[in-house]
Amino acid sequence: MALKNTLTLLTPCLNPDINKFRKLLNSIKYQKEIPDEWLIIDGGSSEKNLNIINKYIKSLDSKLSINIINYPGSTIYSALNLGIKKCSSEFYMVIGCDDYLEKESINKFKFNIRENDGIIVSNIIKSDKILKARKHQRKLFPIYGATKLITNHSGGIIIRKELHKKIGLYDESYLILSDAKFIISCYLKKYNFKYLDFISSRIGNDGISSNKKKLVYLELFRLINELEISKLFNLIMLNFRLIKSLF
């Protein structure tokens, strides 16, 4: 039986595409088991968008606790940090405004939570491809992009809130890879990762990391230096990635 009071959804929000947001909302509404709460951290959406969002929210199951937190000027990571401080559950899942959940996602995550779990990873669908949660794939830094310890930060994992008391909140000086820094730090500190073989969500392509590859590479260079992992290799790979991005 799924545990209660264990899972909060966190959604940073800024003038989302209303049709995509409605699809996300419906994917939550029709879950086999709804999450314990949903925190939407709004960075300054227009009054028109907020009115529409509030209208859609009223159509959801009244048992679901929903709170829109106004945080004008917030970045993705400052919004998430506020959500982490505000959420009341043991675990949280980040879910973007252009993502949506598969029907039994919440139930399957909650059913599989155990006391020693730190981060639980699932399969996702992104760009029409299934990305599998692989227990033995320990690639911290592949050639293109960030860590392969997880499938995707948004929609692909749930994280025990307590880990942030030990590792710290998301580093807000990063624009794209603060989540990668946090995930890798958890792995290096040997917190438990669990891998589940089910598809939890379908991920949109509107995220900043999908559109700013050069910035991803520069932040990855910085991240590896800060974690003191293979600095010479890091410099070589940065040059390779930047040259490759020109073609």
Q: Provide mean pLDDT across the span 122-134.
A: 93
Q: Provide mean pLDDT across the span 116-136.
A: 92
**Alpha-carbon distance 36 to 34, whole Å?**
7
Percent of the chain residues topping a pLDDT of 90: 66
84-111 tens-digit pLDDT: 999 999 999 999 999 999 999 999 999 9
Q: Provide mean pLDDT across the span 6-27.
A: 95
Whole-number Cα distances in Å, 122 to 100, 176, 195, 238 = 14, 21, 6, 29
Q: Per-residue confidence at 1, pLDDT binned at 50, 70, 90?
A: very low
Phi and psi at residue 129, to the nearest 5°:
-120, 140
pLDDT at 242: 52
Q: Provide mean pLDDT across the span 52-66.
A: 83
Give the DSSP letter string of 129-171: EEEP--TT---SS-SSSS-SSSS-HHHHEEEETTHHHHH-S--
pLDDT at 60: 73
Q: Provide mean pLDDT across the span 75-86.
A: 97
Is 50 exceeded by the pLDDT of residue 205? Answer: yes
Q: Provide mean pLDDT across the span 183-197.
A: 94
Alpha-carbon torsion 58, 59, 62, 68, what sign?
A: negative
Q: Which of the 8 DSSP states describes residue 2?
A: P
pLDDT at 144: 47
Contact 97, 17 (CB under 8 A): yes
What is the four-CA torsion angle of 160, 20, 45, 182, rounded to 10 degrees?
A: 30
Which segment of 67-71, 91-95, 209-213 scores lowest on mean pLDDT? 209-213
Q: Provide mean pLDDT across the span 148-170.
A: 95
Q: List the one residue out of 157, 153, 156 whose CA is nearest residue 145.
A: 153
What is the four-CA torsion angle of 7, 8, 9, 10, rounded to 10 degrees?
A: -140
Report the phi/psi class of residue 19: left, alpha or beta, with left for phi > 0 and alpha for psi in -120 to 50. Answer: alpha
